[in-house]
């Protein structure tokens, strides 16, 4: 907004202000004494006429009033009377008229300009204030509303003509979050205040608004008005309450979950301790029996003992695998960036014993770096590779390929492919379940927990696992994971 | 076995009678069982080590090794460990944790308390016997125990 060209300011210092009054009266007194002394003719009424014309009529009127004043003065008051003749000694009067007319019309035009600027400014401000969605109103220190924008009308329901002049607190039934004295104390101290107010609209509904007060002071720094900007947060408050409720619910759930986890941990611990002991005893005593009685037992009895021992051993493996599986779910993942190529190499070293000197054609493609828990990923690779080794056992020439498939831009996809016995796609959803097996344990040993472990680890990395297979033509296992 | 003559005394702390029997059987198989003292809970183990209670009149000297189960009635294995390791006279006794638990937190806690070894009892009896035998041979025969240990 442009600055008014002339600033009508009142001097700040009281000395200047009151000095000006004393000075101007002194000048007037001097002038009056001078006029008295010189016994000049009274021209006050003419000057008054010129002033009125110039002030209200503008420059043209001032010129006309000046001319008429000059003519009248010359005709009636200048000797010789009733003529328009003027002597040299009368000229200062006409100069005085002209100067006065010029001065007053100058003042008048300045005043008009300032008025026009103020008006334009105010109109612009009001129309701008009506553009905003916020509700804005101004009230004086006695709560009487003096301005009310469109936003206020929309929010509270009263038109400006219904609101202006009313007591704002009574009109809006404002409920303050703090005692009113405190609000005003802060406002007077800092010039600002903000807080949430409860109000009732013209329609009788309650709204919650976030209000900001700004204090306006006059030239003497006395508080005169408060500008209040506010916006409707009723809906937001409702959502906040809703979110709070949901958060509480969530906290409760996560506490429950934590309790369940603790129980699960205690359960796993007890499985680890208490289930293994009797199993060990069964196996131990059976073996002692086998040793002591081997000479007196017939083939059938020896077979029974053997089966008992085998079962005990298998159950031991199942318990161990199940515990390992549950540990993966509970352990913290420690993520670092590491080379998959290096990890595959390590995994291959680890499973080398399982190959038993078989003829396996390895094809290891280029592998990227991986961001994740290294020891967990190692377990994934060991599981997938040893599976591939296991299920190609019947092949004279086993082929196992490890590589990186085209993923989308954010995920990378790694696969392990073999030309082993494969599987029927109809059972693909069973592959990754705990204790799920697609082959009988005579053909391919195992507890059925390896792929479940793989899936759990990959899920914990935010990735997916899937598989493709054709009976007797091999299988491919994929896992994906976010690149970072 | 020739080494019988200088066999160290073994303190077996184990509450399960079957485990005791199987362990003793395994030790017997290698003639390592004649100097085994069995404590059935943590309290008994401490009574033995401090020569009090029912072990008030025992012959003096520390065992060459203590085979310690973790899950014990009254005073559990980790508590026994804590007490032994904080006692000047006892802290040098080699302690082997012999337990069913593969839980990492047990393992970490045991090593933190300064155990010499941590052995998970294998389910398979063969492996169990082998483990006990190796432990017995190593700690009661091969290892030179700290001064103050009983060795026949």
Name the segment(s) of chain A with CATH classification 3.30.450.20. 132-232
Residue among A277, A311, A332 with most chain B CBs within 10 A, to mutate: A277
Parent domain of B22 = 2-142
More confident: B141 or A280:
A280
Asked whether the beta carbons of A154 and A200 are under 8 A apart, the reply is no
Assigned domain for B148 exists: no
DSSP one-letter code for B72: -
A277 near B CB under 8 A: yes
- Phi and psi at residue B67, to the nearest 5°: -95, 115
Element (DSSP H or E) covering residue B31:
none
Instruction: Name every chain B residue with its beta carbon within 8 A of the beta carbon of A274.
Output: 100
Q: What is the pLDDT of residue A7?
A: 47
* Angstrom distance (rounded) from CA A373 to CA A338: 9
Q: Does domain A132-232 have CATH number 3.30.479.30?
A: no
Question: Which domain CATH number covers B133?
Answer: 3.40.50.2300
- Kind of pairing between the strands at B10-13 and A474-482: unpaired
pLDDT value of residue A407: 66
Indicate if the pLDDT at residue A145 is higher than 90: yes
ipTM for the whole predicted complex goes beyond 0.85: no
Q: If you average pLDDT over residues A216-231, what whole number do you get?
A: 90
The total number of structural domains in chain B stands at: 1
B122/A contact by beta carbon, under 8 A: yes
Confirm or reject contact between A313 and chain B (CB < 8 A): yes
**Is A279 part of the contact surface with chain B (CB cutoff 8 Å)?**
yes
pLDDT in tens, A463-482: 999 999 998 889 999 999 88
pLDDT at A41: 67
pLDDT confidence bin for A200, thresholds 50/70/90: very high
In this structure, is residue B97 part of a structural domain?
A: yes
Cβ of A313 within 8 Å of Cβ of B25? The answer is no
- Residue B150 domain-assigned? no
For the segment(s) A252-327, the CATH number from 1.10.1760, 3.40.50, 1.10.287, 1.10.3470 is 1.10.287
Q: What are phi and psi of A166, to 5 degrees?
A: -85, 165
Residue range A350-372: mean pLDDT, rounded? 86
* CB–CB contact B101 A281 (8 Å): no
Give the residues of chain B that fall short of pLDDT 70.
1-6, 148, 150-152
B71 and A CB contact within 8 Å: yes
Q: What is the pLDDT of residue A228?
A: 93
**Between 3.30.1490.20, 3.40.50.970, 3.30.565.10, 3.40.50.150, what CATH number should domain A333-482 receive?**
3.30.565.10
State the residue for tokens 């002597």: A87
User: From the list B18, B101, B124, which residue is nearest A281 (CB)?
Assistant: B18
pTM score above 0.90: no
Our CA-based measurement puts residue B9 at a distance from the nearest CA of chain A, in whole angstroms, of: 24
| pLDDT, position A196 | 92
Please give the angle made by the CA atoms of A395, A399 and A400, to the nearest 5 degrees: 125
Q: Is B19 exposed, middle or buried (0-12, 13-18, 19+ CB in 10 A)?
A: buried
Contact A288, B25 (CB under 8 A): yes
Q: Kindly tell me if the per-residue pLDDT of A355 is higher than 60.
A: yes
B103–A contact, CB cutoff 8 A: yes
Provide CATH 3.30.565.10 ranges for chain A: 333-482
Establish if B86 belongs to a structural domain: yes
Res. A458 pLDDT band, cuts 50 70 90:
very high
pLDDT tens-digit map of B95-136: 999 888 777 788 899 999 989 889 888 877 778 888 888 888
Sheet holding A398-405, edge to edge: A360-364, A398-405, A411-418, A474-482, A464-470
The residue of B19, B100, B123 whose CB has the most chain A CBs within 10 angstroms, and thus the best one to mutate to test that interface, is B123
């Amino acid at each position: 907004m442009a600055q008014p060209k002339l600033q009508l300011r009142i001097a700040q210092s009281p000395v200047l202000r009151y000095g000006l009054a004393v000075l101007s009266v002194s000048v007037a007194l001097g002038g009056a004494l001078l006029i008295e002394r010189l016994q000049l003719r009274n021209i006050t009424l003419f000057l008054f006429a010129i002033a009125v014309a110039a002030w209200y009529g503008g420059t043209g009127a001032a010129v006309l009033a000046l001319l008429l004043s000059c003519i009248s003065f010359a005709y009636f008051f200048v000797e010789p009377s009733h003529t328009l003749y003027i002597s040299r000694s009368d000229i200062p009067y006409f100069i005085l008229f002209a100067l006065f007319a010029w001065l007053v019309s100058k003042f008048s035009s300045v005043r008009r300009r300032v008025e026009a600027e103020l008006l334009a400014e105010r109109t612009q401000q009001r129309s701008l204030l009506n553009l905003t969605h916020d509700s804005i109103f101004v009230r004086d220190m006695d709560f009487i509303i003096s301005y009310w924008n469109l936003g206020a009308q929309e929010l509270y329901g009263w038109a400006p003509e219904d609101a202006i002049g009313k007591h704002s607190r009574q009109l809006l039934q404002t409920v303050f979050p703090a005692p009113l004295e405190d609000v005003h104390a802060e406002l007077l101290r800092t010039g600002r205040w903000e807080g949430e107010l409860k109000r009732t609209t013209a329609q009788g509904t309650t709204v919650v608004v976030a209000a900001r007060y700004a204090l306006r002071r006059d030239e003497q720094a006395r508080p005169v008005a408060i500008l209040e900007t506010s916006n409707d947060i009723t809906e937001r408050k409702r959502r906040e309450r809703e979110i709070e409720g949901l958060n509480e619910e969530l906290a409760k759930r996560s506490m429950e979950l934590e309790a369940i986890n603790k129980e699960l941990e205690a359960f796993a611990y007890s499985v680890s301790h208490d289930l293994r002991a009797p199993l060990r005893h069964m196996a131990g005593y059976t073996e002692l029996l086998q040793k002591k009685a081997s000479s007196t037992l017939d083939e059938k009895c020896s077979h029974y003992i053997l089966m008992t021992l085998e079962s005990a051993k298998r159950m031991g493996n199942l318990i161990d695998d199940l515990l390992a599986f549950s540990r993966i779910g509970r352990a913290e993942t420690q993520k670092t960036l590491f080379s998959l190529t290096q990890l595959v190499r390590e995994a291959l070293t680890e499973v080398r014993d399982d190959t038993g000197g078989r003829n396996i054609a390895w094809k290891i493609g280029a592998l990227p770096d991986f961001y994740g828990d290294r020891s967990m990923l190692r377990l994934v690779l060991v599981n997938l590779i040893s599976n591939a080794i296991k299920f190609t056992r019947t092949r004279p020439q086993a082929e196992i390929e490890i590589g990186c498939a085209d993923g989308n831009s954010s995920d990378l996809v790694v696969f392990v492919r073999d030309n082993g016995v494969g599987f029927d796609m109809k059972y693909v959803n069973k592959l990754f379940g705990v204790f799920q097996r697609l082959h009988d344990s005579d053909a391919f040993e195992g507890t059925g927990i390896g792929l479940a472990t793989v899936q759990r680890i990959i899920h914990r990395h935010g990735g997916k696992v899937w598989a493709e297979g054709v009976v007797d033509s091999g299988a491919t296992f994929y896992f994906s994971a976010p690149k970072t | 076995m020739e080494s019988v003559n200088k066999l160290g005394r073994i303190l077996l702390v184990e509450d399960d009678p079957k485990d005791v029997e199987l362990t003793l059987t395994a030790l017997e198989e290698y003639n390592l069982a004649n100097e085994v003292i069995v404590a059935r809970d943590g309290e008994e183990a401490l009574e033995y080590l401090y020569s009090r209670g029912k072990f008030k009149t025992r012959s003096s000297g520390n065992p060459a090794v203590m085979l310690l189960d973790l899950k014990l009635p009254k005073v559990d294995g980790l508590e026994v460990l804590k007490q032994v390791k904080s006692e000047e006279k006892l802290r040098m006794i080699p302690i082997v944790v012999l337990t069913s638990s593969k839980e990492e937190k047990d393992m970490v806690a045991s090593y933190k308390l300064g155990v010499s070894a941590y052995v998970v009892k294998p389910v398979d009896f063969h492996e169990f016997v082998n483990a006990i035998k190796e432990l017995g041979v190593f700690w009661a025969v091969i290892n030179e125990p700290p001064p103050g240990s009983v060795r026949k």
